[in-house]
């Protein structure tokens, strides 16, 4: 598989806003970090902060629009286009500091929807073998289990046009969240293709009946596919 080389990146972000710790936005291409920043977005008037940016690494462009709410909710919108002549491997990270900490047991809700537009030669968007396309993170650790989404993602378009997939979970029991929550998205994209995706991850505390909770990750998971 041919892999595109990394040249340089320039990302524009919103001006820093005093009053809420900066989240971490990281972008990797072919295993190398090409962007790692800690912007502190602008208040959105609803208790959250908005973070926006765009940039270019080699022949791959990316734009993002993120919303972080301090009490443990993060949403992400990405658009990425591969202008190169080779397949690229991409990792998109966002890590949001939270306050206050969320005690255990917690309730987890998450979802992701992704669409690919292929050129006339067709194209493929795929999860890496053994790695979920979308992963939920708490305190720097991937939760796994029922929170891994689109684990077998493989969108293969034979010619020009679009296709997509989505998956989500709701009210899964989870652990405590002491410092941060996050989302990790990992995939390969063939030359000439564009993807857009939306995602959300939310962690809230729940009462402990009888003083004892059991942590598990096996409840409701919903998936729909559109072609």
- Residue 20 pLDDT: 60
Strand partners of residue 63: 54, 79
- Residue 51 pLDDT: 92
Whole-model pTM: value is 0.83
What secondary structure, in 3-state letters, does the chain show? CCECCCCCCCCEECCCCCCCCCCEEEEEECCEEEEEECCCCEECCCCCEEEEEEEEECCEEEEEEEEEECCCEEEEEEEEEECCCCEEEEEEEEEEECCCCECCCEEEEEEEEEEEEECCCCEEEECCCCCCCEEEEECCEECCHHHCECCCCEEEECCCEEEEEEEEEEEEEECCECCEEEEEEEEEECCCCEEEEEEEEEEEECCCHHHCCCCCCCCCEEEEEEC
Please name which of 98, 102, 105 lies closest in space to residue 179, comparing C-alpha atoms. Answer: 98
Given a contact cutoff of 8 angstroms between Cβ atoms, the answer to whether 146 and 221 are in contact is yes
List, for residues 87-125, the tens digit of each pLDDT value.
Answer: 999 999 999 999 999 999 999 999 999 999 999 999 999
Q: What is the CA radius of gyration of the chain?
A: 18
| Residues lower than pLDDT 50 in the chain | 1-19, 211-222, 227
Residue 195: Cβ-neighbour burial (10 angstroms; 0-12, 13-18, 19+): buried
- Residue 223 pLDDT: 53
Contacts of 140 (CB under 8 A, 6+ apart): 95, 179, 180, 182
């Amino acid at each position: 598989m041919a892999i595109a080389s990394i040249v340089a990146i320039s990302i524009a972000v919103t001006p820093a806003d005093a009053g809420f710790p900066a989240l971490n936005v990281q972008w990797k291409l072919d295993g190398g970090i090409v962007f790692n920043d800690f912007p502190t977005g602008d208040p959105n008037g609803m208790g959250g902060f908005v973070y926006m940016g765009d940039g270019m690494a080699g022949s791959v462009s990316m734009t993002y629009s993120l919303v972080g709410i301090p009490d443990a909710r993060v949403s992400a919108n990405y658009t990425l286009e591969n202008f190169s002549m080779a397949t690229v491997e991409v990792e998109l990270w966002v890590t949001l500091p939270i306050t206050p900490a969320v005690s255990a047991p917690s309730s987890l809700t998450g979802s992701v929807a992704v669409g690919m537009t292929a050129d006339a030669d067709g194209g493929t968007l795929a999860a890496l073998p053994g790695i979920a396309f979308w992963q939920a993170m708490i305190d720097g650790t991937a939760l796994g289990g029922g929170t891994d989404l689109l684990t077998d993602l493989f969108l293969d378009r034979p010619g020009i046009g679009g296709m997509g997939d989505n998956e989500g979970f709701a009210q899964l029991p989870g652990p405590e969240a002491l410092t941060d929550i996050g989302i990790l998205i990992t995939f390969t994209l063939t030359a000439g293709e564009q993807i857009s995706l939306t995602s959300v991850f939310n962690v809230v505390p729940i009462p402990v009946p009888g003083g004892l909770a059991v942590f598990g990750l096996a409840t409701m998971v919903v998936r729909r596919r559109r072609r």
